[in-house]
Amino acid sequence: MLKVVIIDDEAIIVEGLSRVIKWEEYGCTLVGTAYDGIEGIQVIREQNPDIIFTDIAMPGMDGLQMIASIRVEHPDTMIAILTGYRDFDYAQTAIKLGVNRFLLKPSNLSEIEETIVAMSEKLKKQKQLSGETEQEEQKLEEDVHAEGNAGSFIVKNALAYMEENYKEKVTLSDLADKMYVSQWHLSKLLNKHTKKSFSELMGEIRIKEAKKLLKDPSLRVGDVAEQVGFLDTAHFARVFKQYTGMSANEYRNRKLG
């Protein structure tokens, strides 16, 4: 039986799909439901479903980021979007990230049932492909493309978050939570797309900002260190020299001299 998870902040949608659809007739079993994206990600990680029905416009969550995280952590899962959000660019991005079906609310029962049939059949065919090398390779190329787009999307958002929050105490764990992926996956994606670790990227961003602030002679080095997110001046001094080859005061004297 194929495992199905439903995620939507509208209880009527979750309850309706749960009760109205005769899942067993399609070779499926409903293994979990959730009413927001955060809870949804937890259910997905626990159940590792074959098929996901989810909204993308839920409170407190970036729907596209959720889709990207699902695709990176669960590359073989079929994803059907069920949403009232009518934006072509948004839908196009979702499809690039690996969404298999995009259904607009209100969807009628026949549309949903057709989607279940199509996704179920595709999954069954994929499971029968062992030994059919050519088709397996074609599927692998499709998976790699969607996974690559999703990974690139996550890295872009992660870097943007780091740029906006470098003054705060941002950890890899914090960032992974914001991106809805595990620390392991985020670390792997950052290394793959930037060839650098989280700490290296965070250090680069903070030192870049520190260089700007050091041009202001009214600011002490300790003030600069604090404003770019370092907890103590000694640590800032070590990192600054590591990235620039000189001390903060030497850099300031060169720029102001």
Domain end, chosen from 80, 107, 127, is at: 127
Question: Exposed (0-12), middle (13-18) or buried (19+): which is 231, by Cβ within 10 Å?
Answer: exposed
Q: Give per-residue pLDDT as tens, 127-151.
A: 777 556 556 666 668 667 788 899 9
Which pLDDT does position 129 carry in this prediction?
Answer: 72
Asked if 99 and 17 sit in the same domain, the reply is yes
pTM above 0.85, yes or no: no
Asked if 118 and 212 sit in the same domain, the reply is no
Which tokens is 171 given?
A: 């950890």
Q: Report how many domains make up the chain.
A: 2
Asked if 13 and 110 sit in the same domain, the reply is yes
Q: Is residue 47 part of a domain?
A: yes
CATH number, domain containing residue 40: 3.40.50.2300
CATH number, domain containing residue 215: 1.10.10.60
Which pLDDT does position 167 carry in this prediction?
Answer: 94
Q: Where are the alpha helices (DSSP H) in the chain?
A: 11-20, 37-47, 63-73, 88-96, 109-127, 133-165, 172-179, 183-194, 198-213, 221-227, 233-244, 248-256
Rg of the chain's alpha carbons, rounded to an integer? 23
Domain end, chosen from 69, 94, 127, is at: 127
Which residue stretches of the chain have pLDDT < 70?
130-140, 142-143, 257
Which pLDDT does position 139 carry in this prediction?
Answer: 62
Q: Which domain holds residue 223?
A: 200-256
